[in-house]
Amino acid sequence: MDYTKIPIDRRNLERIIVSHPGKSVITKERLLIRDETLLDKGVFTKMPAAIKDGRTVDEIDIYQIRLNQTNFNPMLKKIGVVLFAFGIFFFFIGGGVWVPLVIGIIPAIISLILGYILPKDKQIVFHRHNDILELHGAFFDKPHRIPFNDVPAFFAPNGTAGLFHWTLKVKRSFKPLSIKDYFPIDLDIFMEGGWQAWSYWVWYMDRNRPLPPGDAMDEFREADFQRRKAEGFPPPLYKSRIPTPEATTAQQIERERYWRDEEYLV
Between 197 and 159, whose confidence is greater?
Answer: 197
Q: Are strands 153-160 and 10-11 parallel, antiparallel or unpaired?
A: antiparallel
Question: Range with the lowest mean pLDDT among 15-19, 28-32, 164-168, 219-223?
Answer: 164-168
More confident residue, 59 or 165: 59
160 forms beta bridges with 163
Q: What is the pLDDT confidence band of residue 2, given thresholds at 50, 70 and 90?
A: very low
Residues 221, 151: Cα–Cα separation, whole Å: 26
- pLDDT tier at 124 (50, 70, 90 boundaries)? very high
When pLDDT is averaged across residues 208-214 and rounded to a whole number, the result is: 94
Q: Assess contact for 119 and 125: CB atoms under 8 A.
A: no
CB neighbour list of residue 16: distance below 8 Å, 6 or more residues apart: 199, 202, 238, 239, 240, 241, 266
Contacts of 13 (CB under 8 A, 6+ apart): 153, 154, 155, 198
Q: What average pLDDT does the chain have?
A: 81
User: Quick one: pLDDT band at residue 3, thresholds 50, 70, 90?
Assistant: very low
* Angle between the N-to-C axes of helices 98-117 and 73-93, in degrees from 0 to 180, rounded to the nearest 10: 170
* For residues 181-194, average pLDDT: 75
pLDDT in tens, 62-110: 899 999 888 777 778 888 888 878 777 777 776 666 666 667 778 888 8
Query: Is residue 161 predicted with pLDDT exceeding 70?
Result: no
Cα 188–Cα 189–Cα 192 angle in degrees, nearest 5: 50
Pairing of strands 16-17, 239-240: parallel
The domain ranges of the chain are 10-70+120-264, 73-117
d(CA 185, CA 174): 13
pTM of the model: 0.83
Distance CA 19, CA 243 (A): 10
Q: Are 189 and 67 in contact (CB under 8 A)?
A: yes
